[in-house]
Amino acid sequence: MTNQEHVLAFYSRHPISREQILAGARSRRGHLDALAPEDLFPFDQDHYGGLSVVDALAERARIGIGSQVADFCAGLAGPARYLAHKYGAIVTCIELNPHRALGAADLTRRVGLDRRVRIVRGDVMRVSLAGKTMDAVVSQEALLHVPDKSAALAEAHRVLRPGGRLAFTDWATHRPLEGGDADAMWRGIAAQSVQSFMSYPRMLREIGFRNVVVEDLTVDWGKILEERFAMYRKLREETIRLGTPSGDDAFYRSYGRLVALVQERTLGGGRFTAEK
């Protein structure tokens, strides 16, 4: 299996899926007729911190009515639908995994946002968007899966208009990962590489971004990850019962180690903001 196939397979078996999101909405409402965006928000935000952190990204990226936004590694497009619904943005989602892309398109259509949220199956290292067309580029906890982060961030710079803003969250190291932990992160959560809190801003400046700001979210993520790990374990039982993807043993073993690495401040989370 190639590295890309491993990353694609990781998300194809991830416990949060289109089917699981719809099952949650059906359980809460009793049916799936006339779904509104708000009906999916409790289930479709596959990132750390819920809607409040999408608000934080929107603020830092200065997203508003009519903003053209590219969401790199958009997954099932929960944040993109929220940005379109709450802020009036027009969002283009770039997502490599075919199951994720199809699921994102279906969920978006079901809530009537398919004219404001476009799903493009593609690679963030080679984006099919024209240069200088986006007001903002966002991403959440996804660039760890990208082998060449510099290429992806250079693409973000290319597609942004002058003055456009990049705002993303991702894993970053406080101290280098030991070989066993790096291997576990790769096998369990498909982390191709992890930048440090020093190397990420340096990379952004070398690409040509200015006004780079780094926010250390490690303490918040430590608490969130504990809760999320408990949620995943509960969700595994539910997804097995539903017959939907539930994750494999390596995922759960690695996630447990992930929690420990964050709580000991070897690994952490950061929010990075920059301007073209």
pLDDT at 190: 80
pLDDT at 237: 66
pLDDT surpassing 90 at residue 242 = no
pLDDT surpassing 70 at residue 95 = yes
Q: What does each C-alpha distance from 273 to 115, 151, 211, 233 come to in angstroms?
A: 28, 17, 8, 33
pLDDT surpassing 70 at residue 226 = yes
pLDDT > 70 in the chain, percent: 93
Tokens of 158: 């290319």
pLDDT surpassing 80 at residue 94 = yes
Neighbours of 222 (CB within 10 A): 19
Measure the CA–CA gap between 134 and 161, rounded to whole angstroms. 6
Measure the CA–CA gap between 217 and 164, rounded to whole angstroms. 24
Q: What does each C-alpha distance from 105 to 43, 46, 215, 234, 251 come to in angstroms?
A: 16, 16, 32, 27, 26
pLDDT > 90 in the chain, percent: 70
pTM of the model: 0.91
Residue linked to tokens 């903003």: 67
> Lowest mean pLDDT: which of 49-63, 165-179, 233-247?
233-247
Q: Where are the domains of the chain?
A: 3-173+195-216+269-275
pLDDT surpassing 80 at residue 164 = yes
**How confident is the model over 28-65, as pLDDT tens digits?**
999 999 999 999 999 999 888 899 999 999 999 999 99
pLDDT surpassing 80 at residue 228 = no
CATH topology of domain 3-173+195-216+269-275: Rossmann fold (3.40.50)
The stretch 90-101 carries a mean pLDDT of 96
pLDDT at 235: 61
Nearest to 271 by CA among 165, 191, 176, 175: 165
The stretch 9-24 carries a mean pLDDT of 85
> Lowest mean pLDDT: which of 74-88, 99-113, 143-157, 255-269?
255-269
Q: What does each C-alpha distance from 104 to 68, 75, 122, 214 come to in angstroms?
A: 18, 7, 13, 30
**How confident is the model over 207-220, as pLDDT tens digits?**
999 999 999 999 99
pLDDT surpassing 80 at residue 75 = yes
Q: What DSSP state is assigned to residue 130?
A: P
Q: What DSSP state is assigned to residue 136?
A: E
> Lowest mean pLDDT: which of 34-38, 253-257, 266-270?
253-257
**How confident is the model over 101-147, as pLDDT tens digits?**
999 999 999 999 999 999 999 999 999 999 999 999 999 999 999 99
The DSSP bridge partners found for residue 270 are: 170, 216
